[in-house]
Amino acid sequence: MGKVPGIPNVTNPEHQLFIASVFECCVAKSERAKVRASSVLLFQESFLLIYESPGSVISTLLATCPMILSLCFIPHISISTIEYCRSVGEDKIWQQVKLISGILRNKLSAIERVKIVDRGAEKGSSVTFHVAHSTPEFIVHELLKQKINVVASYRAYGLIDFDEKGIQWVIRVSPHYYNTVSEIDTFIEALKEIIKTKKLC
């Protein structure tokens, strides 16, 4: 891969890939006035992967090419969002994320019929669980009634992973550093009531 104009030399292959994606989106933006949905999704995933990794290149981009970010980022990933994140501090955010997601996992594990299916030596903020004898549609719908947003993921999204876990679906909850323990408790109590009222499948 050649050196990208306007950016200091970057040797990390993942960072090179990310920067190339930035410029590709810029070109698409200027030539077609919009970026295809598939390109935006790829760019978003690349950004999140690199931004959350050690040695983030975002600081370099902010310092040298702010226009690139304003041109390419989809609305909820803006310069102001990144600057706010940096002002709070990535280490502080990560510590809070680990704390709040750990509390959530502990409380979920105490609920009958709930099985946490997260794996890995160090778990992130996405908490996934399965509820025996229930359906994901029912759980998502009932929680939404209480303005609690969760997402259902299905076996089709990851055949090997789901087959190894022996399940067909999971519910994903993604608390972040701005969530509180009180909000976690509200979610847990709501889930308990939903599980109680759902007839066994």
Which is nearest to 139 in space by CA: 201, 190, 103? Answer: 190
pLDDT at 116: 97
The pLDDT tens digits for 43-65 are: 444 444 444 444 454 554 444 44
For the whole model, what pTM was predicted?
0.61
pLDDT at 129: 97
Q: Per-residue pLDDT averaged across 136-153, rounded?
A: 95
What value does the CA radius of gyration of the chain take, rounded to a whole number of Å?
20
Query: Any bridge partners for residue 173, and if so which?
Result: 127
pLDDT at 83: 75
Q: Compute CA distances 109 → 12, 56, 120, whole Å.
A: 39, 34, 17
Structural domains of the chain sorted by starting position, each given as residue range(s) with its CATH number in brackets: 13-88 (no CATH), 91-197 (3.90.1150.10)
Residue 176 zone, left/alpha/beta (φ > 0; ψ -120 to 50; rest): beta
The pLDDT tens digits for 150-190 are: 999 999 988 999 999 999 999 999 999 889 999 999 999 99
The pLDDT tens digits for 13-39 are: 655 565 556 555 555 544 444 444 444
pLDDT at 45: 47
The pLDDT tens digits for 74-110 are: 444 556 767 777 788 888 999 999 999 999 999 999 9
Q: Of all helices (H) and strands (E), which one includes residue 40?
A: helix 37-51
